[in-house]
Amino acid sequence: MTRMAEPWMTAEVAGPLKASLIAKPEAARAIVRRAEHPLMAIGHLATEVEVDGQALAAYLAALARAYGIPVVSTGGAGGWLVAHGYAPVRETPLFALVQQLTDPEWRGIDGKGGHDLFLIAGQPYAMAQTALSGLKHFAPGVKTLSLERVYHPNASWSLPNLAPKEYVSFLVRIAERVEA
């Protein structure tokens, strides 16, 4: 198993600050557990990609449930999530959400204050990269964790480039809450 920390799009230039590679699910689990007010965005690609007969969105929803993370659906993923028993907090365009996350006055998706960790998955690569770059530069108080199957250098932390089955196994292991 090769774990690469190279951008999936070879022309992607992230600048001098690149995402820390999350090589083990336990590291991602620790990051999520430390977050005080996380938020997850699930995009439409998560509803279209299946691994072992189950949509990627189901694995992401299970992870969000395990930690009580509110989910915002983007790109039309909300209908699938609702139909499969997971109601997102809101459906909104990804860039509108990113703009809110950059606003220090925004009280968060639930009105309880700004979010300190933003998890992203199921987005087209270029859109995720642009969103993560915007947050990296304009929302210093918001750390980002890319739960995409490919490395995103503009995130604070990113999973490595993974094969589909290895990726799902990684997500399942993050969702296994192990209390210390």
pLDDT in tens, the chain (180 residues): 445 565 655 655 666 788 999 999 999 999 999 999 999 999 999 999 988 889 999 999 999 999 999 999 999 899 999 999 898 889 999 999 999 999 999 999 999 999 999 999 999 999 999 999 999 999 999 999 999 999 999 999 999 999 999 999 999 999 986 554
Contact (Cβ atoms closer than 8 angstroms) between residue 148 and residue 125: yes
Q: Does domain 38-175 have CATH number 3.50.50.60?
A: no
Contact (Cβ atoms closer than 8 angstroms) between residue 165 and residue 147: no
How far is CA 104 from its chain centroid? 21
User: How far apart are the C-alpha atoms of 6 and 124, rounded to whole Å?
Assistant: 17
Q: Alpha-carbon dihedral of residues 114, 118, 121, 124, nearest 10 degrees?
A: 80
What is the edge-to-edge ordering of all strands in the sheet holding 157-158? 20-21, 157-158, 143-146, 117-121, 38-42, 71-73, 90-91
Give CA angle at 93 (87, 95), nearest 5°: 130
User: How far apart are the C-alpha atoms of 102 and 130, rounded to whole Å?
Assistant: 13
The H or E element spanning position 40 is strand 38-42
User: How far apart are the C-alpha atoms of 98 and 175, rounded to whole Å?
Assistant: 24
Instruction: Write out the two tokens for 143.
Output: 């750390």
- Indicate the pairing of strand 117-121 with strand 38-42: parallel
